[in-house]
Amino acid sequence: MTTAAARAFPNIALVKYWGKRDEDLILPVAGSLSLTLDAFATTTTVTLTDEGQDSFRLGGDEVAGEAAHRVTRFLDHVRDLAGASAHAVVDSTNEAPTGAGLASSAAGFAALALAASRAYGLKLDAPSLSRLARRGSGSAARSIIPGIAQWHAGHDDASSFAEAVDAPDMRMVIVTVSTAQKAVSSREAMRRTAATSPYYPAWISSTEESLAQMVDACAASDFTRIGEITESHALRMHALIQSCEPPIRYLAPQSIAIFDAVQALRGEGLEAYATADAGPNIAVIVRPEQAEDLRDALAEFGPARLVGPGAGAALLTDAEAARAGLSEAPA
């Protein structure tokens, strides 16, 4: 097969990944756990070509520079695995609204890992796909997996991958506070954290503890405990990031206002817990039966979108790829 299309969704971590022990292999300093979403998909087609170089289109526009280099380095890795040398045309679309801060490298590299591995003739099982996606972007390891995914930190390439974890059903409300591009990328901010934060060793050891507690809470179907760990771990990550030199602060005043509002809602019987990634937008977990009330309660802070647990990375038929608007859908 010389062409393949795949779709994957972003994920939001409840126990965060922040820091690498190996930059080349993208091995994290600690494990993490996330919810793969059912919205904001990335759809990607990979077609092998006789051209002398790879090319990468996003939303129909040719991409150059560092983003294109990252795709080429990733394809080099797939070619190594497959023992192949042909270049590829990569055509990708995001369902996340442009500039909404929701288009994610996790969905992008998860979809690319599946489409590229198939186009180059590899049939990888889920752990192997997760390992491959991790080489593009750490959090992509988790977007291979549906629903709740635990990424095992591991100690080498073989042992660092994500797998599914049983957990109670939940929903998430995502409140968009700002659509501006972040000033410091996650990758760069992780480097700065490792190099300069006095709290980094405590972060590493406490994240493994939080993860163990979170896995227990998921097994016990204890939503309250899952929520408590989610919110405190998010605030710890932001405290860590703020402790860099020079400091980095991703949360905006409006983000803090939402953390406060969520706490107040809990006092009124609407049980929800907030988290935030490397940006000002806030994701709030809630039980399914209170999800719409939560969305309505948070709408005053910005566009509030209700999402649920989504599928793992999946291959698409030709017709599905064409519907996603890919200009190079397989014929």
The reply to whether 137 sits near ligand 2P0 by the rule CB under 6 A is yes
Mention every residue, 6+ apart, whose C-beta is less than 8 A from residue 275. Answer: 12, 13, 14, 230, 231, 233, 234, 282, 283, 284, 285
In whole angstroms, what separates CA 104 from the centre of its chain?
6
The reply to whether 19 sits near ligand 2P0 by the rule CB under 6 A is no
Residue with tokens 């996790």: 106
The reply to whether 230 sits near ligand 2P0 by the rule CB under 6 A is no
Q: How many CB atoms are located within 10 Å of the residue 85 CB?
A: 6
* Contact pick of 54, 231, 277, 328 for ligand 2P0 (by CB under 6 A): 277
CB of 315 to ligand 2P0, least distance (A): 23
* Contact pick of 4, 5, 26, 217 for ligand 2P0 (by CB under 6 A): 26
Binding residues for ligand 2P0, rule CB under 6 A, total 14
3-state DSSP assignment of residue 53: coil
Choice between 262 and 278, CB closer to ligand 2P0: 278
CA-to-CA distance for 308 and 288, rounded, in angstroms?
Answer: 9
* Contact pick of 4, 5, 8, 13 for ligand 2P0 (by CB under 6 A): 13
The reply to whether 231 sits near ligand 2P0 by the rule CB under 6 A is no
Choice between 79 and 187, CB closer to ligand 2P0: 187
Residue 189: C-alpha distances to residues 27, 182, 231, 243 (Å) = 16, 11, 21, 11
Q: Of 55-63, 125-133, 134-142, 222-230, which segment contacts ligand 2P0 by CB under 6 A?
A: 134-142
Choice between 32 and 197, CB closer to ligand 2P0: 32
8 Å CB contact between 45 and 328: yes
CB of 267 to ligand 2P0, least distance (A): 27
**Under rule CB under 6 A, which residues in 85-114 are in contact with ligand 2P0?**
105
The reply to whether 17 sits near ligand 2P0 by the rule CB under 6 A is yes
Extended strands (E) in 9-122: 11-15, 20-22, 27-28, 32-36, 42-49, 55-58, 61-62, 87-94
**Under rule CB under 6 A, which residues in 278-297 are in contact with ligand 2P0?**
278
8 Å CB contact between 49 and 85: no
What character string, x for contact with ligand 2P0 (CB under 6 A) and - otherwise, covers 175-194? Answer: -----------xx-------
CA 131-133-135 angle, to 5 degrees, is 75
Chain positions contacting ligand 2P0, by CB under 6 A = 13, 16-18, 26, 32, 105, 137-139, 186-187, 277-278
